[in-house]
Amino acid sequence: MEARIKKTFICRNVEDYLIDTTLTENHLPQVGDVAVFEVMSIGKHQTIQDAREKLTKIMPGDYIMAAFGHRYATEQFEGYVPKECRRDFHILGAGGTVGIVESVHAKFSGGPTKLQIVGYVTNCRNEIINTKALEAERMLAFTGRAAAATKVILSIGSSMDSGKTTTAAHLVHGLARQGKKVVFVKLTGTVYTKDRDLSYDLGAINVLDFSEYGFPSTYLCEEEELLNLYESLVAHALDADPDYVIMEIADGLYQRETQMLLRNQRFMATIHDVIFSACDSLSAVCGVETLKKWDIVPFGLCGMFTTSPLLIKEVKDNCQVPVYSLNTLYTEATEYLVQKAADLTWDNTIWIFNTPNKYGHVA
């Protein structure tokens, strides 16, 4: 194929490939399978993020290389890898996730950008290249030991666009200003580097996400696979010898993978602390109550509701968890974390998985 192929970010490590046009008739795509597609019409996605993280304009007739994956995004698309062979697909995410849209947020009246598959990308042995398979040997089994070597702070929220990423980035900024080394990790979501780039801009010494291990997205991953991904990312983060790992989990508390992780005792036993972002006062107060039912008490509340003094007052009148605005996130919130670390004798060798105290670790 002589036409220029625009390679998406998830396919950045795909090299020395061939394109097999015959496999489109009988191969059932799997998550991570790489293919070349022709852009048929432009909808929501007018650009893709390329292998250099650059936003690249796409037009009908262009060819892109992308990978199959699912997507769960309440403010954008719900989409899946199809269970039958077909030729027509949709862009689910600008970082290179492709599948079939199931539902669309009403604000995207133009629908998704439509693609037609040209062929699967194969290696010299005529095997379809799969982004997850490319990185499979680097994946670690979950033990919790990686997290024991640092302090993992979770940034979670009531929903997509509740403020989790901004909260995480301002915690990074505040800790960096206090001379702490911080790595930002996005554990779940759909591949696109905007969230991790913000934390890098605000002082993180390294930024990582699930795409490091070939995941176009984490939607519908099995629980053990998520735990292994967590172990692998935190172990990777340790290369920078961080004082803290600020970790974002995508979407809201009721999203499948988010709930799966937060209710997993083994996972929460490795967590140093939690901050919760919410859109409004009701989601803030009810979110805290939900977390308490799961034996999780966040050290602070932040998010979109903190842009309104009235919403802040409503939360403070109905909840005892401290509220942090963006201005106090990188001052008071980070001072709390640093002081807490100074007050605790952190034992990296003792972990209780069956009867944890606050999050299962022993200080």
Each residue's pLDDT tens digit, 210-260: 999 999 999 999 999 999 999 999 999 999 999 999 999 999 999 999 999
Q: What is the pLDDT of residues 116-158, one digit of tens each?
A: 999 999 999 999 999 999 999 999 999 999 999 999 999 999 9
Q: What is the mean pLDDT of residues 269-285?
A: 98
Tell me how many degrees the CA angle 358-337-212 measures, rounded to the nearest 5. Answer: 85
Q: Is the dihedral of CA 327, 329, 334, 340 positive or negative?
A: positive
40: nearest Cα among 104, 142, 118, 141: 118
**pLDDT confidence of residue 357:** 38
**pLDDT confidence of residue 153:** 98
Fold of 139-343: Rossmann fold (3.40.50)
- Lowest mean pLDDT: which of 93-97, 190-194, 249-253, 343-347? 343-347
Q: What is the mean pLDDT of residues 30-52?
A: 97
Single-letter code of the amino acid located at 260:
M
3: nearest Cα among 42, 38, 54, 51: 38
Widest CA span of the chain, in angstroms? Answer: 65
Q: What is the mean pLDDT of residues 99-104?
A: 96
> Which residue ranges make up each domain of the chain?
5-130, 139-343
Share of residues in the chain with pLDDT > 90 (%): 91
**pLDDT confidence of residue 355:** 34
Q: What is the mean pLDDT of residues 8-12?
A: 98
Q: What is the pLDDT of residues 191-215, one digit of tens each?
A: 999 999 999 999 999 999 999 999 9
Q: What is the mean pLDDT of residues 299-307?
A: 98
CB-based contact 268:153 (threshold 8 Å): no
**For residue 262, is pLDDT > 60?**
yes
Q: Take residue 69 and report the two structure tokens written for it.
A: 């994956």
Record the pTM.
Answer: 0.93
